Structures are given as C-alpha cells and as structure tokens.
Amino acid sequence: MTNSMQRLWLAGTACMVLAACGGEKKEAAQPAAQSAATAGGDEIKPAPGGKVHEVELYSNEKGNYFEPKEITANKGDVIEFELKSGVHNINFLPDSNPGKAGLPRPSDMLQLPDQKYYLYVDMATGKYFFQCDPHALLGMIGYLVVK
C-alpha cells in the first residue's frame, strides 16, 4: 500500500471510529406533562360526567388532516385520536402555545390503522394548537378549546 493510500485508509477509519464513539444522543427537554396520554390499547376513561371526543387522522386524496380539526372539551374529558390512514402523530408544540403550561408530550407515530392515542384533558381553560409533525406544513393542524 502506498503512503497516500495508507493515509486515506487511516482517515476513513478515524472518521468511522469518531462517528461510532460520538456518545449518547441527548433528547431535547420536554415540558412536564400534566395530561395523561397513551398510545395503543391503554384506553383512558373520562372523569365522572366527562365525555370522550373522537378525532380521526387521515392521509388520502383530500390531503392530510384531523377530522374534526377543532374540538371543544371540558376538564376531565378524553380526546381519542384514531389513525384511519397514513402515519401521524399529535404534538402540542410549546412555541405554538405561548404561555401555556402542562402541555402533553408529543405522541409516538401512529402507524397501524385503528391505532389510538388517548389524551386526558386537564389543561387550563384556553385554546391549544396541535399538529401532526410530518404533515404540519401540509395543513395538518388542529385546535383544542378547553372550557
């Protein structure tokens, strides 16, 4: 092997070692979630006298959207997000909800038809913006009004 080939091999090997030893990835800090939320089969029941609000998530010829995209709920209600088509999540972004505390953490990606994500409503009175992260720029946004 020539000197230039050895240097190239050493440089490539060093890059691979550095990439492999880059350390553990740190996730961005999330605000503390006061709202209970689960994905999969862990259904959350509403408080006594509370109600379940159903929201369906779609990707089809009409686009990517929540149906309905605006929900009005009371504290103690549950929002049941159900995947109908596509791959989606639900995210109440802190920078889209300025001054709001106790926002739920972003959901995992819902990938299987009829997969559900439950959100127990215990946020303060107000209007909350949520979105599907991969499709927000395509208009997949919604609002939760807590009374």
Closest CA to 33 of 79, 102, 93: 102
Do the bridges between strand 63-67 and strand 52-60 make them parallel or antiparallel, or are there none, so unpaired? Answer: antiparallel
pLDDT, residue 31, reads: 32
* pLDDT score of 35 more than 90: no
What average pLDDT does the chain have? 82
Check residue 13 and give its pLDDT: 45
pLDDT at 43: 86
CB neighbours (10 Å) of residue 50?
A: 16
How confident is the model over 95-144, as pLDDT tens digits? 999 999 999 999 999 999 999 999 999 999 999 999 999 999 999 999 99
Measured CA to CA in angstroms, residue 67 lies from 7, 58, 111 at distances of 59, 8, 17
pLDDT of residue 70: 98
Give the pLDDT of residue 42.
76
* pLDDT over 70, % of the chain: 72
Mind listing the pLDDT tens digit for each residue in 125-135? Answer: 999 999 999 99
Confidence band of 16 (pLDDT split at 50, 70, 90): very low
End-to-end CA distance of the chain: 74
- Give the predicted TM-score (pTM) of the model: 0.73
41: confidence class by pLDDT, cuts 50, 70, 90: low
